[in-house]
Amino acid sequence: MNTKRETNKNILFIATGGTVASSEGGNGLTPALTGDLILAKVPEVDHLCNLSVLQLMNIDSTNMAPENWLKIADTILEEYDGYDGFVILHGTDTMAYTAAALSYLIQNSPKPIVLTGSQKPISNPFTDAKLNIYQSVLYALDKYSCNVSIVFNNQVIAGTRVKKQRTRSYNAFESMNFTPLAHFIENRILRRVKDPEALEGELLSYDKMCDRVAVLKLSPGLSPNIFKAFEQDVDALILETFGIGGIPEYDGHSFETAIRDFIAKGKTIILTTQVPEEGLDLSRYEVGNKYTALEGVLEAGNMTTEAIVAKIMWILGQTDKPREIKKMFYKIINYDRGE
């Protein structure tokens, strides 16, 4: 084996489980392999840098929760001074949520924090894991890389713009309403977005999140009474509206009244659209326009639902004051809104 290093940089490889680490357990795939065993199957990365492995957890990403996001962030911060970059091995199902959460928990990072995984286990003869891991390490080593991103299938996506669009294909993820940060052509990184935000401010870190957040997707005929079901356990409700921002009004059932009552109880409503691309504009139609000036209602623009969930969890972990919630929500972090 070639032990000559192309760079003296140190990269921390954090393994959390997912499909890439899975093997057949009799009842379906389940995470079993450790980070060391996975890297042993990708010897091509061995000469790139000094690579250390930390097995933080080994779970199906379906079971990834805010407490796990905090654990990953805490680990990165504890090891921050000793490494030049971080690669997190993660399951694909909730990778977009974790990437968004880390974007808010660790802001303005001059050191890259890269998430990757695979659609097929590392032991599968047709796995996509080897290329994804190799490219993730290359990206983490590049001097222009920073902040939180996902590297997957020759593409680099900002951590707040990721959505899983396909359950089986290798091109599982899309960059929603924002240009991918970069593409790979073999070993070359072709950057599309310049002037990284990390260079514009100092490193910021946070250690609290509030998980009293839920997502409600409108469907035809849904009763506004559904809001009462969220009052006890939810502090912020993300409402996925129709189209560009349509909220219905059925005879005798007022969504406007239900939303106003929900806000009056000290809750926050974030309006978004259930359409993945192009975003929300409440001013376009009368059915949405009435909510544009309603205090306690936030407009998500073209953010992904995954980013909205992570952002409001982060915000509520820091404050419960409506004015501060609004200010923090509309601040752009790691390219999370607008273009």
Catalytic residues: 92
Output 257-261 pairs: Cβ under 8 A, ≥24 positions apart: 257/224, 258/224, 258/225, 258/226, 258/227, 258/228, 259/224, 259/227, 259/291, 259/294, 259/297, 260/294, 261/227
Placement of tokens 């990757």 in the chain: 116
> Whole-angstrom distance between the N-terminal and C-terminal Cα of the chain?
46
Cβ atoms 104, 153 nearer than 8 A: no
Phi first, then psi: give them for residue 113, nearest 5 degrees: -120, 105
* Cα distances (angstroms) measured from residue 27 to each of 30, 89, 94, 297: 8, 23, 21, 44
Q: Please tell me whether residue 249 adopts helix, strand or coil conformation.
A: coil
Q: Per residue in 300-328, is it b (16+ CB within 10 Å) or e — as a string? A: bbbbbbbbbbbbbbbbbbeeeeeeebbeb
